[in-house]
Homo-oligomer: A and B are copies of this chain.
Amino acid sequence: MENFEFVSPTHFVFGRDAEAQVGAKLADQGAAKVLLHYGGGSAERSGLLGRVRESLAAAGIKCVELGGVRPNPEITLVREGVALCKQHGIDWVLAVGGGSVVDSAKAIAVGARATCDVWQFFETKQQTNDVLPIAVVLTIPAAGSEASPNAVVSNDELGRKTGYGNDAQRPKLAFLNPELTFTLPPYQTAAGLTDMFCHLLERFFDDYGAVPVTDNLNLSLMKTIRAEAPRVLADPENYDARANIMWAGMLCHQGLAGVGRHEDWATHGLEHELSAFDTSITHGAGLAVMFPAWMEYVHGENPARFAFYGREVFGLVTSGDVEADALSAIDETRSFFASLGMPTTLAELGFDEARLEEAIADMLPTLAANKGNPFGSFKRLSMEDAAAIYRSAL
Contacts and interface: CB of A to CB of B under 8 A. Distances in A.
Interface of A: 1-16, 18, 178, 211-214, 216-217, 219-221, 223-224, 227-228, 239-240, 243-244, 247-248, 251, 256, 259-260
A240 to B, nearest CB: 6
27 contacts: A1-B15, A1-B240, A1-B244, A2-B15, A3-B14, A3-B15, A3-B16, A3-B18, A4-B12, A4-B15, A5-B12, A5-B13, A5-B14, A6-B11, A6-B12, A6-B14, A7-B12, A8-B8, A212-B244, A213-B224, A213-B248, A214-B247, A216-B223, A217-B217, A217-B220, A220-B220, A251-B256
B12 A244 contact: no
A216 B212 contact: no
A213 B247 contact: yes
A1 to B, nearest CB: 4
B220 A216 contact: yes
Contacts of A251: 213, 217, 256
A212 B9 CA distance: 24
A308 to B, nearest CB: 13
Contacts of A5: 11-14
A242 to B, nearest CB: 9
A2 B14 CA distance: 9
A4 B11 CA distance: 11
Contacts of A11: 5-7
A4 B14 contact: yes
Copies per complex of this chain: 2
A228 B212 CA distance: 8
Contacts of A256: 251, 256
A132 to B, nearest CB: 18
A159 to B, nearest CB: 37
A8 B12 CA distance: 10
Among A12, A217, A221, A228, which residue has the most Cβ atoms of chain B within 10 A?
Answer: A217
A239 B247 CA distance: 32
Given A212-B227, A213-B224, A217-B251, 10 more contacts: A4-B12, A7-B11, A211-B244, A212-B224, A212-B244, A213-B247, A213-B251, A216-B220, A216-B223, A217-B217
A3 B246 CA distance: 13
Contacts of A220: 216-217, 219-220
A247 B221 contact: no
A217 B212 contact: no
A68 B155 CA distance: 59
A244 B219 CA distance: 16
Given A8-B8, A9-B7, A260 B14 contact: yes
Nearest to A4: B14
Contacts of A260: 14, 243, 247
A62 to B, nearest CB: 24
Nearest to A3: B15
Contacts of A15: 1-4
A109 B240 CA distance: 39
Contacts of A217: 217, 220-221, 251
Contacts of A18: 3
